[in-house]
């Protein structure tokens, strides 16, 4: 599928990109090649291929959620550059 320069300009406009004429020509060629690859992929027969999510669920069951003890406040703040009242102290963002 070959894109026109107007289609590439429209895509660039949607992405808020300002492209030079040379960049438009380059992206036209590259985007057209990508669309050609997808066109070829759509022609493949994948009827016998399981979706990845189904294959993963069969081979790797998820572990059950279990509550575990977390870190203490002291351990969390140990490497903080500054702490105050059991909280991280950060510099002000606005003056």
**What is the pLDDT, as a whole number, of residue 4?**
95
Structural domains in the chain, sorted by start: 5-42 (1.10.20.60)
Q: What is the 3-state secondary structure (H, E, C) of the chain?
A: CCCCHHHHHHHHHHCCCCCCHHHHHHHHHHHHHHHHHHHHHHCCCCCCCCCHHHHHHHHCCCCCCCCCCCCCHHHHHCCCCCEECCEECCCCCCC
Q: What is the pTM of this model?
A: 0.50
Reported as a single tens digit per residue, the pLDDT across 14-41 is: 999 999 999 999 999 999 999 999 999 9
**pLDDT above 70 for 89:** yes
**pLDDT above 90 for 54:** no
């Amino acid at each position: 599928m070959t894109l026109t320069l107007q289609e590439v300009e429209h895509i660039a406009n949607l992405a808020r990109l300002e492209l030079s004429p040379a960049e438009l020509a380059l992206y036209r060629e590259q985007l057209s090649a990508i669309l050609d690859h997808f066109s070829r992929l759509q022609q493949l027969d994948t009827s016998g291929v399981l979706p990845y999510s189904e294959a993963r669920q069969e081979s790797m069951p998820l572990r059950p959620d279990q509550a575990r003890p977390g870190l203490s406040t002291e351990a969390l703040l140990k490497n903080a550059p500054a702490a105050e009242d059991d909280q991280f102290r950060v510099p002000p963002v606005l003056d």
